[in-house]
Amino acid sequence: MSKVANLKRSAARGLPKAPTGIQGLDEVTDGGLPRGRPTLICGGAGCGKTLMSIEFLVRGATEYGEPGVLMVFEETADELAKNVRSLGFDLQELIEKKKLIIDFVRVERNEIEETGDYDLEGLFVRLNHAIDSIGARRVALDTIETLFSGLSNEAILRAELRRLFRWLKDKGVTAVITGERGEGSLTRHGLEEYVSDCVILLDHRIIDQISTRRLRVVKYRGSVHGTNEYPFLIDENGINILPITSMGLQHEVSNERVPTGVPRLDAMLGGKGYYRGSTVLISGTAGSGKTSLAAHFIDAACERGERCLYFAYEESPNQISRNMRSIGIDLDRWVKKGLLRFHATRSTLYGLEMHLVTAYKLIREFKPDFVVLDPIGNLTLAGSESDTTSMLTRLMDFLKTHKITALWTNLTSGDEQEKTDVGISSLVDTWLLLRGIELDGERNRALYVLKSRGMAHSNQIREFLLTDHGIELTDIYLGPEGVLTGSARQAQEAKESAEALAREQEIAARRRELERKRRALEARITAMRKEFEADEEEAKRIIVESQKREDVFSHDKQKMAANRHADTKPTSGKLRDR
């Protein structure tokens, strides 16, 4: 009953912790190492335990105002200084500022004869002196197990180590003790028996010739901690650990739409382009223009002043720049302006986790708005398919939480167009599919929008042309003879226009013929009218003449009658009426 109450109280109060300052470790350990207690860091040779213990001290001294004592049992002063200088730690400076003391303990068995009883008080004295002289709050012992090879009386050593760890606790310093991994146990000499508060295991694994460093918190008494294996990276800034827990699906979404850089593609995507912070996948067969399309997205983004980070797993930055120049896109100018950064690595150079760690690190550093992974399928060379899927999912979650748009390209093989080899197709928001259409002995590119969440997108296939001034999308030929692209489309178009021309010419000819006929008809009408007029004229003339003749005749007749003295008149009237 009281035990439960105790537990509850301690959970509520929380264990006091000393933040390590090591990137990611504090997240995994929920705040740092147990304050005032020893922590065991164990692992095989070259796993990074020395570095981790040194970084713990350096960060403590520089970031948390806690001076530290480093007791080194294996390396010499010069070796150590050189090794950590390459990681950006200047130990000498810290020593001069009295923030760090390094004590090199050398125990050589061939120089030492043992006789009778002894203890390790000398070590205690040295440690105590070092701690007190700078007021140290942190201590690292690297690697104390070396004592077992220098001194032969194991019973004494064990008793003394037990005493040492208790002493460290009493002293109230936060201590890190490193230990070499043993067979079947965490450390060669079973140090984990004495240091039971917190045990961290480092691992340097090589699978398929690719090495990955991993960290696991084996035990952390009285505290919650991440139980997974977390990959980590040692670079010029020290250790980077990635707490890759899936971040869930709580990220906020943006309603902002962003143009792609290809106007007709924007038109296909509901007229406005993709959503900011979404994941765009361009998949397609080899040589279908995935990288070129990606370059358009980048060019457009940089044009808007956005920062782009390009992970190239296949081509070198120079090669990409050169190739994109051939389609009229100058990526170099964005690199010079600092808006675009390439990160080119062979996917097989290191493990997936390392790729992820590197990506996280670069994204944190560069703070891009737009991230390109080209191509994602290549990552399967560095890990299994399911590992790749999980890595990409985590990366996608990470990008989405930071509202970074992701553009991934993926190579598909001929018969599996609508499937990605890493099975993330269902996770992406906008999926553009590029495919080759083979027809009449040539291959042409076509693009369509396979899906695009949250927008009315076109269902049309567009022909995708790579010109010296970029990508052009044109309508493909759809007619009685099916879908035609490339020169077949052009031929069909030419054929159609020829046919149209012929039809036009025929119509024109008919019109001319009709016109001619009409003119001929009119000419005939005119001629007939002329003839008729002529006839009419003639007839009138004849009538007039004959009247004249009549008049003359009747005049003559009267004359004759007068001559004959005819007394009858009326006859002349009758004659006149006619």
Q: Which is nearer to other proteins, 2 or 115 (CB)?
A: 115
111 is a contact residue toward other proteins (CB under 8 A): yes
Smallest gap from residue 72 Cβ to other proteins (A): 12
Supply the DSSP string of 128-196, one letter for each residue: HHHHHHHT-SEEEEETTTHHHHH---HHHHHHHHHHHHHHHHHHT-EEEEEEE--SSSSSTT-GGGT--
Closest CA to 430 of 249, 225, 259, 552: 259
Q: Which of 63, 96, 119, 416 binds other proteins (CB under 8 A)?
A: 119
CA end-to-end distance (rounded Å), the chain: 159
Smallest gap from residue 152 Cβ to other proteins (A): 10
Six token digits for residue 19: 């933040």
Q: Is 75 helix (H, G, I), strand (E, B) or coil?
A: coil
Smallest gap from residue 68 Cβ to other proteins (A): 17
129 is a contact residue toward other proteins (CB under 8 A): yes
155 is a contact residue toward other proteins (CB under 8 A): no
534 is a contact residue toward other proteins (CB under 8 A): no
Smallest gap from residue 151 Cβ to other proteins (A): 7
Say if residues 212 and 353 touch (Cβ distance below 8 Å).
yes
120 is a contact residue toward other proteins (CB under 8 A): yes
Smallest gap from residue 51 Cβ to other proteins (A): 24
CA distances from 110 to 103, 106, 123, 157, 301 (A): 21, 12, 19, 18, 68
Six token digits for residue 548: 């004249």
Q: Which is nearer to other proteins, 69 or 433 (CB)?
A: 69
125 is a contact residue toward other proteins (CB under 8 A): yes
Q: Which residues pair with 220 in a beta bridge?
A: 198
Residue with tokens 């105790």: 6
For 511, the enclosing helix (H) or strand (E) is helix 486-564
- Binding track over 134-153 against other proteins, x by CB under 8 A: -------------x--xx--
114 is a contact residue toward other proteins (CB under 8 A): yes
Q: Which is nearer to other proteins, 64 or 124 (CB)?
A: 124
Chain Cα centroid distance, residue 234:
25
Q: Which is nearer to other proteins, 73 or 408 (CB)?
A: 73
Q: Which is nearer to other proteins, 119 or 536 (CB)?
A: 119
Using the rule CB under 8 A, give the single segment among 119-127, 322-330, 439-447, 493-501 that binds other proteins.
119-127
Q: Which is nearer to other proteins, 117 or 236 (CB)?
A: 117
Cα gap 452→272, rounded to integer Å: 12
Residue with tokens 């040589």: 287
Smallest gap from residue 156 Cβ to other proteins (A): 8
Q: Give all strands (DSSP E) within 356-425, no chain letters.
A: 370-374, 405-411
Cα gap 271→264, rounded to integer Å: 8
Q: Which is nearer to other proteins, 98 or 221 (CB)?
A: 98
202: Cβ contacts below 8 Å, ≥ 6 apart:
41, 42, 43, 44, 47, 48, 49, 52, 213, 214, 215
107 is a contact residue toward other proteins (CB under 8 A): yes
236 is a contact residue toward other proteins (CB under 8 A): no
Smallest gap from residue 128 Cβ to other proteins (A): 7
Q: Which is nearer to other proteins, 79 or 506 (CB)?
A: 79
Q: Which of 46, 118, 517, 542 binds other proteins (CB under 8 A)?
A: 118
Say if residues 258 and 287 touch (Cβ distance below 8 Å).
no
How, if at all, do strands 279-284 and 308-312 pair?
A: unpaired
Site for other proteins in 75-104 (CB under 8 A): 103-104
Q: Which is nearer to other proteins, 179 or 436 (CB)?
A: 179
Say if residues 398 and 309 touch (Cβ distance below 8 Å).
no
Q: Which of 86, 115, 250, 426 binds other proteins (CB under 8 A)?
A: 115
Smallest gap from residue 147 Cβ to other proteins (A): 7
Total interface residues for other proteins by CB under 8 A? 26
Q: Is 322 helix (H, G, I), strand (E, B) or coil?
A: helix
Q: Which of 35, 126, 169, 188 binds other proteins (CB under 8 A)?
A: 126
Q: What is the DSSP letter of 25?
A: H
How, if at all, do strands 470-475 and 462-467 pair?
A: antiparallel
Q: Is 429 helix (H, G, I), strand (E, B) or coil?
A: coil
Smallest gap from residue 136 Cβ to other proteins (A): 14
Q: Which is nearer to other proteins, 134 or 151 (CB)?
A: 151
Q: Which of 128, 185, 348, 572 binds other proteins (CB under 8 A)?
A: 128
Cα gap 265→263, rounded to integer Å: 5
Q: Which is nearer to other proteins, 121 or 438 (CB)?
A: 121
Q: What is the DSSP letter of 483?
A: E
8 is a contact residue toward other proteins (CB under 8 A): no
Q: Which is nearer to other proteins, 136 or 147 (CB)?
A: 147
Q: Which of 78, 113, 236, 415 binds other proteins (CB under 8 A)?
A: 113
Cα gap 472→460, rounded to integer Å: 15
Say if residues 197 and 221 touch (Cβ distance below 8 Å).
yes
Smallest gap from residue 57 Cβ to other proteins (A): 18
Binding site for other proteins (CB under 8 A): 103-107, 111-126, 128-129, 147, 150-151
